[in-house]
């Protein structure tokens, strides 16, 4: 059975949002950094955020197809969840809260990585675009990061910053692949550290809960129904998170953003986006 990736009322207008090619003058690096064999010291005082985005893919994901141009999971520049107007790359580059630092270009499983620095807080944001055909890899990497089984450190202009399980908050954005496949891996917490997690995908609370509970991560935002996992919801939730607001306040910020852009009531958005187990 095929599942919805976006709300039905959104589908007719999503094509007109507009997709954005990579801006000129952007710094390019040939490949993504491979995991380091020996983890160097990094600044543990930073509340870094690592976003894992499974690119929308008509061919390889169990979704109701979107227009071909924005549903090609091998084309991040035009993808619904990355290069389009409300995709992670475009939306965060336009944000007044974040300074874009660089793009790392990849191939295969991970196609792009973005690095941002918050303008007021001592925090970095890393966003990875996973090839849509590798949505299972993206899901597994997210859960392993939440559990501390997968950790890495990224060199940003001579500074070491913690990513994956070394980040404070992990976010998954995209289709809920757990509707289509099962996972046999164990995601039991590996280091006793409790991280925060956001899962913007359809019915993510139901499908992610059995796995996330093993990781001991705290679910700040996940969904109870079909949703559009666009970047404005995540963006405003992260603003509240970095301001050290409560989980309920973070939920409220996310719901207000969702209601605004989806043109639904805040009550409906709050019923959709919930916090905690």
Range of the structural domain that residue 212 is part of: 40-230
d(CA 63, CA 11): 12
Mind listing the pLDDT tens digit for each residue in 87-110? 999 999 999 999 999 999 998 999
Domain annotation covers residue 132: yes
Q: How many domains does the chain have?
A: 1
For residues 27, 28, 33, 39, the Cα torsion angle rounded to the nearest 10 degrees is -20
**What is the reported pLDDT for 19?**
42
Mind listing the pLDDT tens digit for each residue in 109-150? 999 999 999 999 999 999 999 999 999 999 999 999 999 999
Domain annotation covers residue 238: no
Domain annotation covers residue 119: yes
**What is the reported pLDDT for 244?**
97
Domain annotation covers residue 28: no
Assigned token pair, 244: 């050290």
Domain annotation covers residue 31: no
Longest C-alpha distance within the chain, in Å? 49
Domain annotation covers residue 254: no
Domain annotation covers residue 32: no
Mind listing the pLDDT tens digit for each residue in 179-231? 999 999 999 999 999 999 999 999 999 999 999 999 999 999 999 999 999 99
Assigned token pair, 174: 């995209």
CB atoms within 10 A of CB 191: 12
Distances from the Cα of 163 to the Cα of 1, 58, 73, 146, 251, angstroms: 35, 29, 24, 11, 24
Exposure pattern of 50-59 as b/e (b: 16+ CB <10 Å)? Answer: bbbbbbbbbe
Domain annotation covers residue 3: no
Percentage of residues of the chain with pLDDT beyond 70: 86
Instruction: For residue 221, give the nearest of 258, 267, 166 by alpha carbon.
Output: 258
Average pLDDT, the chain: 89
């Amino acid at each position: 059975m095929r599942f919805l990736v976006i709300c039905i009322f959104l589908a007719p207008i999503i094509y007109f949002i507009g997709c954005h090619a990579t801006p000129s003058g952007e710094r390019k690096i040939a490949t993504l950094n491979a995991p380091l064999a020996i983890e160097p010291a990094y600044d543990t005082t930073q509340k870094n955020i690592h976003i894992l985005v499974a690119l929308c893919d008509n061919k390889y994901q169990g979704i109701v197809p979107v227009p071909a141009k924005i549903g090609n999971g091998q084309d991040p520049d035009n993808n619904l969840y990355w290069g389009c107007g409300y995709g992670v790359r475009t939306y965060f580059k336009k944000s007044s809260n974040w300074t874009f630092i660089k793009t790392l270009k990849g191939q295969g499983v991970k196609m792009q990585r973005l690095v941002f620095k918050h303008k007021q807080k001592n925090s970095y944001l890393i966003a990875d675009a996973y090839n849509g055909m590798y949505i299972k890899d993206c899901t597994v990497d997210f859960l392993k990061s939440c559990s501390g089984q997968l950790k890495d450190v990224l060199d940003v202009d001579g500074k070491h910053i913690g990513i994956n399980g070394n980040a404070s908050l992990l976010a998954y954005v995209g289709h809920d692949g757990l509707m289509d496949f099962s996972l046999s891996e164990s995601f039991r917490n590996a280091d006793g550290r409790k991280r925060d997690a956001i899962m913007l995908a359809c019915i993510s609370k139901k499908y992610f809960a059995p796995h996330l509970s093993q990781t001991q991560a705290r679910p700040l935002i996940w969904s109870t129904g079909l949703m559009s996992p666009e970047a404005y919801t995540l963006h405003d939730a992260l603003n509240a998170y970095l301001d050290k607001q409560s989980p309920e306040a973070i939920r409220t910020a996310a719901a207000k953003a969702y209601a605004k852009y989806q043109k639904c009531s805040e009550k409906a958005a709050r019923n959709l986006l919930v916090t905690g187990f």
